Copies of this chain bind each other. A is one copy, B any other.
Amino acid sequence: MGASETRRQIVDVADQLFYEHGFEATSFADIAQDVGLSRGNFYYHFKTKDEILGAVIAQRMSNTRAMLEVWKQEAASPAERILSFIHILIANRTKIMAYGCPVSTLCNELAKLDHAAKDDAAGLFSLFRDWLAQQFAALGREADAEALALHILMRSQGVAALATAFCDENFIRREVSDMEAWLHAQCSSSSLPHS
């Protein structure tokens, strides 16, 4: 097994553990155990824990870009693409109720730790924001595309936050329906929702 394969495996495991237990609560030993490696040997692949974090964020950025590209190709219309985004709340509802949104929880943790990589983590949000803004612009809402993108992104974050606290699946479905209705209203009118 090559070193790059092991490295990829470490990043995969770290990604999952950072999501499920948090960055700080995940130790080298935890990652090593799940990968099946000696903990001391990590130094060969990553000099520091922050380096692992950097690799995890980079992988998430790459995975997110790929996912957005798939959504762009699979969905015919901009509205359907936005729906693809909205529906991750349903698709990932179990994990969200248990661990929250992987992006916001990481951003929040790094913000509290005042970690150097906190802006990099926020870059994941920018990826979604820009992609969503692109879709709203394609819907003819060039003027306020970014505001609309941030609005729908904000809603998904709010739903994730309360879903984690209350573990209420019905709440998620109700709010997703509400987001769909909102999106439909945006499509059929050009009035600004933001005064």
Report which A residues bind B (CB closer than 8 A). 20-22, 24-25, 98-101, 103-105, 107-109, 111-113, 121-122, 125, 147, 150-151, 153-159, 161-162, 164-166, 171, 174-175, 177-178, 181, 193-195
Contacts and interface: CB of A to CB of B under 8 A. Distances in A.
Given A111-B100, A113-B25, A194-B177, A154 B147 contact: no
A21 B109 CA distance: 8
- In the complex, the count of this chain's copies comes to 2
Nearest to A175: B154
A94 to B, nearest CB: 13
Contact of A154 (B105, B151, B155, B195): B155
A24 B24 contact: yes
Given A103-B165, A178-B193, 12 more contacts: A98-B111, A100-B108, A104-B161, A104-B164, A107-B165, A125-B162, A150-B175, A151-B175, A151-B178, A153-B162, A154-B155, A157-B161
16 contacts: A24-B25, A101-B161, A104-B164, A111-B164, A122-B166, A125-B162, A125-B165, A150-B162, A153-B158, A153-B162, A154-B175, A155-B158, A157-B161, A158-B158, A158-B161, A177-B194
